[in-house]
Structure formats: C-alpha cells, structure tokens
Amino acid sequence: MSDVICTAVAGDRLFEEEHRSFCVAAVTRGTFRYRTNQGTAMLAPGAILLGNPGACYECGHEHGAGDRCLSFHFTPAYMERIVTDVPGAKRLGFAGPRLPPLPALASLLAQAEAARETGDGEAFEELGLRIAGAAVAATTGSPGIAPTPSRRDQKRVAEAVRLIELNAEQPLSLTEIADSAATSPYHFLRTFRRVAGMTPYQFLLRTRLHRAAVRLRASDEAISAIAFDAGFNDLSTFNRRFKREMGETPGTYRACRSSAKSSGSAAGRSL
C-alpha cells in the first residue's frame, strides 16, 4: 500500500507513466483526469482508479490542484488468485479505467483511511485484499464503458465536487451547486451523475458519512458530536443513514475498532 499525495496544479506538464503491476487506488481527496489504455475518466473522492500491468497512463489536474489516494498494488500472480476466489469473475485485467463510488466499498474505504490516519499498518494488507476483491466483483459482467464526458462537463463536475468537499458540513442544495457551475439544475444533475457515477446529493451524503466513519474509527469523540460536525442536524437521521450506507450502526462500527485493538493487544501479549 502507498499513500500517494499529488501536488500538481493546472498547467503542469503531463508525464506518461506505466503501471508496473495491477493497481487499485481509492481517491480520498481532490479530483483529477486519468487517461489510460482502458479509457479516460474524471476521478473524485470515493472513486477507484483501476490499472493493468504494462498500461501507460497520465493524470491531469487542469480543473484543480492536487489529490490524495490510497494505492494498492498486486502482481499478476497475486491478482489471479484474487480473481479465482471471486464468484463469476473470469477476466484477469480491468476493462475500464475506474469504478464510481459504490456502497459496497464505502465501509472498506473508510476503514482504510482511518488506518492510514492512525498508522495502523497491519490492517492494510487485509483491507487491500478486500478492496481489490470488491473491485473485481464490481467489474465482473460490466456492460461496457460509457462515452467519455466532454472536458467542459468534467471541469464543471470537478469544480462542484470541490465545492461540496469544502462545504460538506453546510446545507447545500442542487440549485446552489448548479448555479456555481453556471448550468440548469436538471442538466447539471444528469452531467454530474454521468461523470461522477452518482447524484450530487448522494455524493454530499456519502462525503459526510465517510468523514464521520473515519472519525468513529480514529477517535473517541461522542457520536453526536461527530454527527453534527459532519453536517447532520438530527442524530436519529445520522444513525439511520449510517446504517444504510455502512451496514451497521455507528456504535457497532466503532465497537469493531475496539474489538480489533483488544485482539491485537491480546495477540501481542501471547507472543
């Protein structure tokens, strides 16, 4: 696993690079345009960058400065074992350049980011395997790659994503976000969904829940304080949406961290 922090800005020269192994990278901050043999896509937080060994690629930041990713790398032999264990998966290699933010990956990505923040390196191997397996499962039976959105559409969505990231804890309406992109709400809704893989509201909600999940894993703050800071004005609403997104209540989600710590301490004492 590598924590990749990019500080490139608009106007910087693009460099062609090559994937040395299979790459499954979770975008945790910022936006960028990713171009590879499988196609071109605008990646935003929650999306998964997919790379095949030997594939050349470029990352551009014409719409904003910098990004951060949790990047996992696997040799072909290792990835073949992962594919073998995923029901229905037959293809060794990714047909598309990315996966949009998916509910099936939300909890895993929050755990991985929390592990990064707390320095829990021992958790990364398991989390990397689980994320790779989920990515393979999500790409199995994919109907194909949609036409690449125009650069103008990508720019609008990239700017909107950054607006949401900077103001996620504040009330944000579709009209406000569409106005910032100088387009009608209906057209913007369709454009955003096509580029980002979800609606603006779904992205806003997922951003809030993701940040709350990271804090639940990484701190002992009160659940109510975390919920309110994330932008939820009602604790019951936060609990209900958190369970729907992550598959368990905030309290249970946090308890898993405590159980993992206890197990790790016990294992250490037994050595």
In the chain, DSSP finds a helix count (H) and a strand count (E) of 10, 9
For helices 76-85 and 124-139, what crossing angle results, to 10°?
70
For the stretch 228-237, pLDDT in tens is: 999 998 899 8
Residue 170: pLDDT band with limits 50, 70, 90 = very high
Domains 2-139 and 151-259 share a fold: no
Instruction: Please state the pTM of the whole predicted model.
Output: 0.73
**pLDDT score recorded for residue 128:** 85
Q: Highest mean pLDDT: which of 76-90, 134-148, 257-271?
A: 76-90
Residue 6, SS3 per DSSP: strand
108/244 Cα distance (integer angstroms) = 14
For helices 103-118 and 124-139, what crossing angle results, to 10°?
160
By CB atoms closer than 10 A (0-12, 13-18, 19+), residue 70 is buried
Q: What is the dihedral of CA 174, 43, 45, 93, to 10 degrees?
A: 130
Extents of the domains making up the chain: 2-139, 151-259
Predicted confidence (pLDDT) at residue 55 exceeds the cutoff of 90? yes
**pLDDT score recorded for residue 143:** 45
Predicted confidence (pLDDT) at residue 255 exceeds the cutoff of 70? yes
Tell me the HSE value of 166 on the side-chain side, using a 13 A CA sphere.
Answer: 9
Q: Measured at the alpha carbon of residue 254, what is the angle toward residues 226 and 3, in degrees to the nearest 5?
A: 80
CATH number for domain 2-139, candidates 3.65.10.10, 3.40.640.10, 2.60.120.700, 2.60.120.280: 2.60.120.280
Q: What is the dihedral of CA 112, 118, 121, 124, to 10 degrees?
A: -10
* Sequence-ordered list of residues with C-beta below 8 angstroms from that of 154, at least 6 positions apart, any chain: 33, 42, 63, 195
In CATH, 151-259 is 1.10.10.60: yes
